[in-house]
Structure 1
Amino acid sequence: MMWRDPGTPADDYYPVRPESTDVPESTFRIKAGKTLSERRWRAAFSPEGHLDMSKILGRIHRGGIHPSIRGEVWEFLLGCFDPHSTSEERQEIREHRREKYKSLKATCKQLFPLIGSGKFVTAPIITENGDTTQDPIVIQQIKEVVGDTPMEDYPMDKKEIDWKLTLHQIGLDVIRTDRSLVFFEKQENLAKLWDVLSVYSWFDSDVGYGQGMSDLCSPMIILLEDEADAFWCFERLMRKLRGNFRCSGSSVGVESQLNCLAMVTQVVDPKLHQHLEHLGGGDYLFAFRMLMVLFRREFSFGDSLFLWEMMWALEYDPDLFSNYEDSSDSGSERPDANKPKPKSRKQIGKYERENMKNGAELPITVFLIANVLKEKSAKLLAEARGLDDVVKILNDCNGNLDAKKACAGAMKLHKKYLKQVINIRLIVC
């Protein structure tokens, strides 16, 4: 019988605190010949620094990314850099962004001195009217940073009031985020996460801060050593997800994706959809958390990162950087903006190719959740007598899902959905 290398557990790279005994183990294994290695990653670049995405997308989809290069690969998958750019062009953009982040952070520090101090707050610093709360712990923290210099009250505009009202909530979320990881035992790493989220909340004041963002930002802090690089990588991820965090009095931002999930389930599993509607779950709000934090609760830390990079590789579009830079002032001028760039099918993610071919724009996360529902369909139909039962059955998945199988199932469901929708169109026509 041939011996097979079981691979290195991903958890070895993200050590867990000894007292955290209830943390699910990662099923993701780093395997030679399957996982994107540093050697294969470097070989995908030309001498000038142009990246051939066709050499890495399939490898990521099949075996993930080695943790030693994960951060820099993510920067490309999320559209921080154009794969057709040179090493020098990317360095120029990186330096520009680092300066911009430095400026943003300096503005925030001027408004509240604990930004960048290595400390953070978990108590409110102002009231909704803009008055300081005079919390003794906050006052003591500020004194340790600026001495006895008094903090003067002054009229604040709505943007500043809204921003300052979020700072303590960010702090409360930071101390709850990935606390099982040894990395976040250090105060400096918690403060770094708080700084990045606080600056982002000021930078994107239209969305600000919402619960769940700390779960999305935490991996960036771990994977990218430079705080500015982590900030812009998180900002790119938020380009994909910021719509989820837009809320009004009458609707939640994630509502459009929940509507898509309902539509997909109705097509691929009409019996289950009818049952959920009967239980009062036709709005699919029970799937809210999965969409908001990209399955961070359903998978171990290592497996959730593996899942993310598989999703991004499957959805990858080489125009991502160009589209983002055209609508953003976050980077410098695009290198060779007017130069035509080759775009072959191999440079486009497998899932995205199917979408483009069929004129669809549904995100893969919708099909990941639809696949979870399909896998649990028999149990939901037999045992769910109310929404509490639905939530309980889905919560039983936490830590027990396989990221690779989940992606494969989502791809199959996507094909099935597109085929059935096309057949319905043909019948109607």
Structure 2
Amino acid sequence: MEFFMKKASTAELDAFYPVREECRVEVPKTRFRLRAGKTLSARRWHAAFSEDGHLDIASVLRRIQRGGIHPAIKGVVWEFLLGCFDPSSTFDERNDLRQQRREMYVRLKAECNKMVPVIGSGKFITTPLVTDDGDPIDGAPNGARHDVSDKKVIQWKLFLHQIGLDVVRTDRTLVFYESETNQAKLWEILSVYAWMDNDIGYVQGMNDICSPIVILIENHADAFWCFERAMRKLRENFRCTSTSMGVQSQLATLSQVIRTIDPKLHQHLEELDGGEYLFAFRMLMVLFRREFSFVDSLYLWEVRMKLDLYFHPDWFQLMWAMEYNPNIFSSYETSSAGTTPPNASDKELKAFGKFERNNVKTGYTEQHGALSVFLVASVLETKNKQLLKNAKGLDDVVNILGDITGNLDARKACNEALKIHKKYLKLHLQNVKS
């Protein structure tokens, strides 16, 4: 594996996620490279487990931050980074838990299949099944009739064709989605999730979060629960009401960060009526899936996973690794927030991602100060001069930031985000004390 990585470091990693021939021109080249001795390889991953299955998560996080995750093991590593499994569990305990979850998914899918038989058939739909009042549409594959007073069923059925329309547009440049079976897998997982999470249901953009997981994890049930864990971290991004939107709190934090580290730029944006930073909505909503290639977006996500997107798998892993918190598993299983001792020792802190470690050390507890916010801040800082000189209105801001699509270096952006994070914490604490 190490020898292979040396050869692959100069080859296109997109070979792991082949692009349709007719789409090659529009797909940006990946900037991420496998780096022998730094990228987490299969050999290093397996060596991180004890004989009975305990995972040395600290060593894994360090290597992910240095060089990302090799595509051959990306899916199984993500399950740990997203909190599907406790690193301190054994092989047997994880096998038992995986089997329980698979059985639970079978039950959820069966519930959905009774209402809409297309679920689990390897097919999917793109046309409405019911009217807004719940009346079946002639010719639609509705399955068993239901009580029109059951608003949950009606709302869920209304989601299904929109999910189908979004699935058709998801990562359409990839060979993987030339297969109707693979498209149906994405549709099925999103549909079952929308049934289970009645509070959020389905919101456009969730398909962009789910797609890499569907590609990386073959088993439908395992992919579903990995997505469910990802949504536990991201679901508030998709909660929208008549008076607020899901990422509004993050936009407010972004405003605070730029006001603190670059007051001149913040003042300029306010004068352009952009002080609410709505132009950054999409970046935060779907974690840069549109700004980076598939491979780079996955790398970015992995860093974020460690700290607590066209289709580039390596951005995804980087973000979550940097935000990794060892309390993540217990908090997911109990649906309550994990806590970190304020007097955590240096040894205990090693189990945290670098970004989260800085928060713990400084006592910074801002709930919405995620790495993604500081990544947007880093993008704004790289465009500082251009924004100050050329942006005469919000359309100019959008156009200037639009130029970054496919042109950002994930590793550099993460490094800059960490620098801004550190600078912000220092200035923030100074302001609090004063």
Query: In structure 2, what is the equivalent of residue 307 of structure 1?
Result: 300
C-alpha displacement at 1:62, in angstroms?
1.2
User: CA-to-partner distance for each residue in 1:159-203, whole Å, 9 max, x for gaps?
Assistant: 111111110100000000001000000000000000000000011
Whole-Å separation in 2 of the counterparts to 1:7 and 1:200: 39
2:39 aligned with 1:46, yes or no?
Answer: no
Corresponding residue number in structure 2 for 1:162: 155
Aligned counterparts of 1:93 and 1:8: Cα–Cα separation in 2: 38
Partner of 1:338: none
Q: Which residue, out of 419, 422, 426, partners 2:429?
A: 422
* Contact in 1 for aligned 2:377/2:417 (Cα 8 Å): yes
Alignment correspondent of 1:387:
394
Query: Which structure 2 residue ranges, 5 or more long, are not aligned?
Result: 1-5, 303-317, 337-345
Offset, 1:253? 1.1
CA distance in 1: counterparts of 2:56 and 2:334, whole angstroms: 22
Is the contact made by 1:9 and 1:30 (CA closer than 8 Å) also made in structure 2?
Answer: no
Measure the CA separation in 1 of the matches of 2:246 and 2:148: 31
Structure 1: gaps spanning 5 or more residues: 143-149, 329-341
Structural mapping, 1:111-190, within 5 Å: 111-134=115-138, 136=139, 138-139=140-141, 152=145, 154-190=147-183
Tell me which of 59, 81, 104 is aligned to 1:55: 59
Alignment deviations for residues 202-230 of structure 1 (CA, whole Å, 9 cap, x no partner): 11110010000000000111000100000
The equivalent residue for 2:76 is 72
Report the Cα offset of residue 344 of structure 1: 2.0
Shift of 1:422: 1.5
Of 288, 292, 307, the residue aligned with 1:295 is: 288
Q: How far, CA to CA, are the matches of 2:418 and 2:270 in structure 1?
A: 25
SS in structure 1 opposite 2:40? Answer: coil
Q: With a CA cutoff of 8 Å and minimum separation of 6, indicate the structure with the bigger relative contact order.
A: 1
Query: Residue 331 of structure 2 corresponds to which residue in structure 1?
Result: 323
After TM superposition, the structure 1 = structure 2 runs for residues 333-372 of structure 1, keeping only pairs within 5 Å, are: 344-360=348-364, 361=366, 362-372=369-379
The 5-angstrom pairing of residues 398-409 of structure 1 reads: 398-409=405-416
What is the CA-CA distance between 1:156 and the residue it aligns to?
4.2
> Which amino acid in structure 2 is aligned with residue 86 of structure 1?
T
Structure 1 counterpart of 2:414, which letter? C
Q: Partner letter of residue 196 of structure 1?
A: I
Q: Which amino acid aligns with 1:190?
A: Q
Quote the sequence identity (%).
60
- Residue 425 of structure 1: CA displacement? 2.2
Distance 1:111 1:275 in 2: 53
The CA deviation string for residues 248-271 of structure 1, in whole angstroms up to 9 with x for no partner, is: 111111100010000001001111
Residue 15 of structure 2 is aligned to residue 12 of structure 1: yes
Name the Cα RMSD after superposition.
1.5
SS in 1 for 2:350: helix
Alpha-carbon distance in 1 for matches of 2:418, 2:241 = 33
Read off the aligned partner of 2:320 and give its amino acid letter: W
Separation in structure 2 between the aligned mates of residue 73 and residue 124 of structure 1, nearest angstrom: 37
SS in structure 2 at match of 1:88:
helix
Deviations 1:90-120 (A, max 9, x none): 0111000000011000001111111111111
The correspondence for 2:96, drawn from 92, 97, 103, is 92
Q: What is the CA-CA distance between 1:153 and the residue it aligns to? A: 5.7
- Partner secondary structure for residue 322 of structure 2: helix
Q: Secondary structure at the match of 1:220?
A: helix
2:193 corresponds in structure 1 to: 200
- Could you tell me the TM-score, scaled by structure 1's length? 0.91
Give the number of equivalent residue pairs: 400
Tell me which structure has the larger Cα radius of gyration: 1
> Counterpart of 1:19 in 2: which secondary structure?
helix
> What TM-score results when the alignment is normalised by the length of structure 2?
0.90
Q: Larger deviation: 120-129 or 69-78? A: 120-129
Equivalent residues of 1:7, 1:32 under 8 A apart: no
Residue 10 of structure 1 deviates from its aligned partner by: 2.0
